[in-house]
């Protein structure tokens, strides 16, 4: 069977995802699938639609609730009965071989298993958290780390990753902001498409490629109050413009699968939402891939109060469009009965099974069930030097220089006496971030190790625990600061303070660490804050006042080396915030592309009765798109045509006005001044990363098409003539405002 690659120009700028498209006409009807289907019993069909956490080669970390305890023997037996179509989150050649043998030799029809896993930002080799990597504004980097993760996954017996997570999140209290690409749908969409291509490549039969899974469909990032699993209350326009945008781009680009979400959307749970998973996904977007439910999301329809019992939940999830059930076993238990009683049409059952079998065929499992199950690959393609080098590069490109008063950074190679203070100085247990259970902790490089790798002499004092004081800790830290010429203050969150089920009410540095920071700052030596965090934080006190602040997120295996590379200037920081740092924790949700309101607070002048808080204006301490460099750049000669019909070209120059070579991320923002629906005060519509030597200038050209100016009207996308503001800037608050008129 030949597979055509499906090229579609996704976004302006022709960013295309050349990927095998299950969504497009290029996917020929398969005789093998049709003939298999004809032989299958309803029970065998239900088995292909059922997946479970791998007990045969378990990760051994309780990362999901009620993780099954059936054990390998029981699960192997279930594989042999054909009750399992996929296993997830098992790793390693030997267990994969054993499980696959049970499927292809033990079952009646010898249908192979497909193995999946949560390879969200790397497997054994961990790359930066997606929210951190998004700060690089670098689609090529995102594709490269996804590609490397696919290489390692297929060397460890995984064919399908439950990534990219493409949920746009605007409330940093939500722990899963860590897994996404930040607050902006345009940036999120560009990176989602790049990651899908990195995972899938141009042909899924390539044994080093994995099927991707855009998740969580949909609007999981809109949970009310930032509380995980909560209901969402969003308008159709926000749903379309913000939360669905990355999914639609992935579908258009040929993503193989989607995963349905836990949350409800205005009262209808996503995992039981026929409009979402059928009318929109199949009818409007023409998606032909497969939808897997999130972990027991079908069964949770009962707790939602949307289904009466397991049978009802299975019927509602399945008929809404969830093809495969994860962990609940409800499809095995109820689909044959529902079909026999005529409550589920055979055609719907066959449709779902066809999608699963096509996925297995697309990945090449019918030709070679032991694809990606290779002892040799496990030895040669895991945590390779190039993967570790990529992790280190990606980490350094994800670090945001928030502040650098007096050009304190970069440190000189001989910076004098250095004190490394804080609970994350020597720490190796919190460098990967959430979804760390798949990574090889032995690879983790602490900040201290990164400094030692540079042969730097320094004093290291923990000073406090993450959320508790250490008796005598502050005194020891103060003494170390007194004896130092510069202090590196390594503070922030542990990796389990973000991620799934880790929403926080206060997005702040824990109090024990703030006390440490205040005492150390009072000594009066220059302090460089090395912030560790899985979300944007509200900074205050001595942390906010420090002369230099590096937002280092969770950078993955090579974290300490990446941080040292930026600290000492081997890498000139160029990252820009993918999520706004608010002035206060209570300012959530906060996002740069907010509405104006009828009473926007002016920059200067009377603030009474304006859209603001008593304590702070409706703005960020460090906004989306912000990030400094060790050099400086200016934007000039911004040329914007006065009028636009189908498209316009906007040009500008960017000049390196400093003394170091560096990268700048030039961003294009618009504002639709007057429209039939209120529009955001700014919307990102383009970005370009440029590398310039000192004194060099480059002319950039951005193209805006009419479709880039669309918004969701009453029932469809609309573009309305009128005046648009446009900025070519280096952050979401910068740039000189220009205007054009759309005819
Ligand atoms: C989890 C997550 C989902 C993950 C799945 C399998 O609950 O919500 O992102 O892929 O279960 O581990």
Distance 64 CA to ligand 1 centre (A): 7
Cα 701 from Cα 221, distance rounded (Å): 33
User: Looking at the predicted structure, is the pLDDT value of residue 25 above 90?
Assistant: no
Q: What is the pLDDT of residue 291?
A: 98
Q: What is the pLDDT of residues 589-619, one digit of tens each?
A: 999 999 999 999 999 999 999 999 999 999 9
Q: How far is the CA of 118 from the centre of ligand 1 (A)?
A: 7
Confidence of residue 10 (pLDDT cuts 50, 70, 90): very low
Tell me the torsion sign for CA atoms 311, 313, 317, 320. Answer: positive
Q: Whose CA is nearest to atom 1 of ligand 1?
A: 295
| H helical segments located in 285-406 | 300-303, 310-320, 330-340, 346-362, 375-380, 385-398
Q: Which of 268-282, 297-311, 325-339, 369-383 has the lowest mean pLDDT?
A: 369-383
Query: Would the CB of 215 count as within 6 Å of ligand 1?
Result: yes
Residue 67 pLDDT grade (very low, low, confident, very high; cuts 50, 70, 90): low
- Model confidence at 30, pLDDT cuts 50, 70, 90, reads confident
165 — phi, psi (to 5°)?
-80, 120
Residue 696: what pLDDT? 98
Say whether pTM exceeds 0.85. yes
Give the number of the atom of ligand 1 that is nearest the alpha carbon of residue 213.
Answer: 10
pLDDT of residue 342: 98
Does the pLDDT value for residue 13 go beyond 50?
A: no
pLDDT at 19: 37
- Alpha-carbon span 369 to 79, nearest angstrom: 14
Q: How far is the CA of 90 from the centre of ligand 1 (A)?
A: 14
- CB 295 near ligand 1, within 6 Å: yes
Nearest to 289 by CA among 53, 30, 20: 20
Cα 65 vs. chain centroid, distance in angstroms?
A: 22
Residue 26 scores a pLDDT above 90: no
Residue 437 — pLDDT band, cuts 50, 70, 90?
confident
324: which strand partners? 292
What pLDDT, on a 0 to 100 scale, did the predictor assign at position 62?
A: 67
Residue having the nearest C-alpha atom to atom 7 of ligand 1: 295
Q: Is the pLDDT of residue 242 over 90?
A: yes
Interatomic CA distance for residues 405 and 403, integer angstroms: 6
With pLDDT > 70 as the criterion, what percentage of the chain qualifies? 95
Which of 231, 209, 235, 205 has the alpha carbon at shortest distance from 220? 231
Please determine, for residue 268, whether its predicted confidence score (pLDDT) is greater than 50.
yes
The residue contributing the CA closest to ligand 1 atom 6 is 295
CA of 128 to the centre of ligand 1 (A): 19
- The secondary structure of 556-607, three-state, reads CCCHHHHHHHHHCCCCCCCCCCCCCEECCCCCCCCCCCCECCCCECCCCCCC
Whether 563 has a pLDDT exceeding 60, the answer reads yes
* Nearest CA residue ID for atom 8, ligand 1: 294
The enclosing H or E element of 450 equals helix 447-452
Catalytic residue among 252, 294, 312, 323: 294
Q: Please give the pLDDT value at position 18.
A: 35
Beta carbon of 64 within 6 Å of any ligand 1 atom: yes
pLDDT tens sequence across 621-665: 999 999 999 999 999 999 999 999 999 999 999 999 999 999 999
Residues 6+ apart with CB under 8 A from 643: 740, 741, 742, 743
Confidence grade of residue 347 (pLDDT, cut at 50, 70, 90): very high
pLDDT in tens, 167-224: 999 999 999 999 999 999 999 999 999 999 999 999 999 999 999 999 999 999 999 9
What separation in Å is there between the alpha carbon of 294 and the centre of ligand 1?
A: 6
Model confidence at 66, pLDDT cuts 50, 70, 90, reads: low
Edge-to-edge strand order for the sheet containing 527-532?
Answer: 400-404, 548-551, 527-532, 486-492, 418-421, 458-461
Q: Is 500 in the pocket of ligand 1 (CB under 6 A)?
A: yes
Q: What's residue 16's pLDDT?
A: 34
d(Cα 50, Cα 383) in Å, to the nearest integer?
32
- Counting ligand 1 atoms within 8 A of each CB, the residue from 87, 500, 501, 503 with the most, and so the one to mutate, is 500
pLDDT at 64: 76
On the CB side of 245, CA atoms within 13 Å amount to 24
pLDDT at 2 > cutoff 80:
no
Going from the Cα of 316 to the center of ligand 1, the distance in angstroms, rounded, reads 21
Which of the four pLDDT bands, split at 50, 70 and 90, describes residue 65? confident
Instruction: Say how many Å lie between the CA of residue 146 and the centre of ligand 1.
Output: 18
Atom 11 in ligand 1: which residue has the minimum CA distance? 295
Q: Give the span between the Cα atoms of 632 and 616, in whole angstroms.
A: 29
pLDDT band at 17 (very low <50, low <70, confident <90, very high): very low
Pick from 60, 68, 118, 263 the residue to mutate for probing ligand 1's pocket: most ligand atoms within 8 Å of its CB: 118
Structure confidence at residue 676 as a pLDDT band (50, 70, 90) = very high
Average pLDDT, the chain: 95
Q: Among 211, 229, 294, 501, which residue has the most ligand 1 atoms within 8 Å of its CB, making it the best to mutate?
A: 294
Active site residue 294: yes
Q: Kindly report, residue by residue over 439-490, the tens digit of the pLDDT.
A: 999 999 999 999 999 999 999 999 999 999 999 999 999 999 999 999 999 9
Give the whole-angstrom CA distance, residue 440 versus residue 435: 12
Ligand 1 atom closest to the CA of 63, numbered from 1? 12
Which ligand 1 atom is at minimum distance from the Cα of 118? 10
Output the CA 371–ligand 1 centroid distance in Å. 24
Least confident of 14-23, 191-200, 666-675: 14-23
Which atom from ligand 1 is nearest to the alpha carbon of 162?
10
Band the pLDDT of 438: cuts 50, 70, 90: confident
- To test the pocket of ligand 1, the residue of 60, 295, 503 to mutate (highest count of ligand atoms within 8 Å of its CB) is 295
Residue 118 above 50 pLDDT? yes
- Ligand 1 closest atom vs CA 259: 10
Q: Is 118 in the pocket of ligand 1 (CB under 6 A)?
A: yes
Predicted local confidence at residue 71, as pLDDT? 87
The average pLDDT across 222-233 equals 98
Give the Å distance between the CA of 212 and the centre of ligand 1: 14
Q: How far apart are CA 733 and CA 231, in angstroms?
A: 32
Dihedrals phi, psi of 32, to nearest 5 degrees:
-60, -45
Specify the 3-state DSSP secondary structure of 50.
strand
Query: Which of 24 and 255 is assigned the larger pLDDT?
Result: 255
Confidence of residue 58 (pLDDT cuts 50, 70, 90): confident
């Amino acid at each position: 069977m030949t597979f055509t690659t499906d090229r579609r120009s996704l976004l302006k700028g022709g960013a295309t995802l050349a990927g095998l498209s299950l969504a497009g006409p290029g996917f020929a009807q398969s005789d093998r699938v049709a003939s298999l289907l004809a032989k299958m019993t309803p029970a065998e069909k239900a088995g292909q639609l059922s997946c479970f956490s791998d007990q045969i080669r378990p990760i051994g970390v309780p990362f999901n609730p009620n993780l099954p305890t059936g054990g390998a023997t029981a699960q192997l037996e279930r594989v042999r009965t054909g009750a399992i179509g996929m296993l997830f989150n098992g790793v390693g050649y030997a267990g994969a071989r054993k499980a696959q043998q049970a499927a292809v030799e033990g079952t009646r029809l010898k249908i192979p298993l497909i193995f999946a896993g949560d390879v969200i930002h790397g497997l054994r080799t961990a790359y930066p958290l997606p929210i951190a990597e998004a700060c690089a504004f670098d689609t090529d980097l995102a594709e490269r780390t996804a590609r490397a993760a696919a290489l390692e996954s297929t060397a460890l017996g995984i064919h399908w990753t439950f990534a990219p997570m493409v949920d746009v999140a605007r409330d940093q209290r939500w722990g899963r902001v860590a897994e996404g690409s930040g607050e902006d749908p345009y940036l999120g969409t560009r990176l989602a498409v790049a990651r899908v291509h990195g995972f899938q490549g141009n042909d899924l039969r390539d044994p080093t490629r994995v099927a991707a899974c855009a998740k969580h469909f949909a609007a999981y990032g809109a949970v009310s109050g930032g509380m995980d699993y909560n209901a969402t209350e969003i308008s159709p326009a926000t749903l379309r413009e913000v939360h669905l945008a990355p999914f639609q781009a992935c579908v258009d680009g040929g993503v193989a699968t989607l995963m349905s979400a836990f949350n409800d959307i205005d009262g209808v749970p996503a995992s039981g939402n026929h409009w979402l998973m059928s009318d929109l996904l199949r009818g409007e977007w023409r998606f032909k891939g497969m939808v897997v439910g999130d972990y027991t999301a079908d069964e949770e329809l009962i707790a939602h109060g949307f289904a009466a019992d397991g049978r009802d939940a299975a019927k509602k999830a399945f008929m809404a469009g969830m093809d495969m059930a994860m962990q609940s076993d409800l499809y095995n238990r109820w689909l044959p009965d529902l079909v026999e009683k005529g409550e589920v049409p055979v055609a719907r059952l066959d449709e779902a099974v066809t999608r699963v079998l096509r996925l297995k065929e697309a990945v090449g499992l019918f030709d070679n069930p032991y694809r990606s199950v290779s002892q040799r690959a496990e030895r040669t393609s895991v945590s390779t030097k190039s993967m570790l080098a990529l992790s280190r590069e990606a980490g350094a490109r994800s670090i945001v220089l928030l502040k650098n008063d007096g050009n304190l950074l970069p440190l000189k190679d001989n910076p004098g006496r250095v004190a490394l203070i804080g609970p994350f100085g020597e720490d190796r247990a919190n460098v990967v971030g959430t979804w760390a259970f798949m990574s090889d902790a032995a690879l983790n490089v602490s900040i201290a190790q990164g400094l030692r790798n540079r042969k730097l002499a320094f004093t290291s004092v923990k000073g406090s625990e993450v959320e508790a004081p250490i008796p005598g800790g502050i005194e020891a830290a103060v003494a170390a600061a007194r004896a130092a010429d510069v202090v590196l203050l390594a503070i922030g969150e542990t990796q389990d303070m973000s991620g799934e089920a880790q929403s926080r009410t206060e997005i702040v540095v824990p109090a024990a660490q703030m006390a440490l920071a205040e005492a150390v700052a009072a000594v009066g030596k220059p302090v460089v804050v090395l912030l560790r965090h899985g979300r944007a934080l509200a900074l205050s006190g001595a942390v906010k006042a420090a002369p230099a602040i590096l937002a280092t997120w969770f950078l993955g295996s090579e974290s300490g080396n990446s941080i040292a590379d930026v600290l000492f200037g081997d890498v000139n920081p160029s990252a820009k915030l993918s999520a706004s740092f608010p002035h206060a924790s209570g300012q959530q949700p906060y996002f740069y592309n907010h509405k104006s309101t009828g009473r926007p607070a002016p920059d200067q002048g009377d603030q009474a009765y304006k859209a603001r808080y008593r304590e702070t204006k409706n703005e960020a301490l460090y906004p989306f798109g912000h990030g400094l460099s060790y050099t400086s750049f200016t934007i000039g000669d911004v040329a914007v045509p006065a009028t636009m019909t189908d498209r316009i070209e906007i040009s500008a120059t960017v000049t390196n006005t400093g003394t170091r070579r560096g990268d700048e991320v030039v961003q294009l923002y618009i504002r639709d001044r007057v429209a039939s629906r209120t529009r955001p005060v700014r919307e990102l519509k383009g970005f370009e990363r440029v590398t310039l030597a000192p004194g060099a200038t480059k002319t950039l050209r951005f193209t805006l098409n009419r479709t880039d100016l669309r918004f969701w009207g009453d029932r469809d996308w609309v573009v309305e003539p009128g005046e648009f503001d446009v900025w070519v800037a280096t952050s979401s608050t910068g740039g000189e405002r220009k205007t054009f008129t759309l005819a």
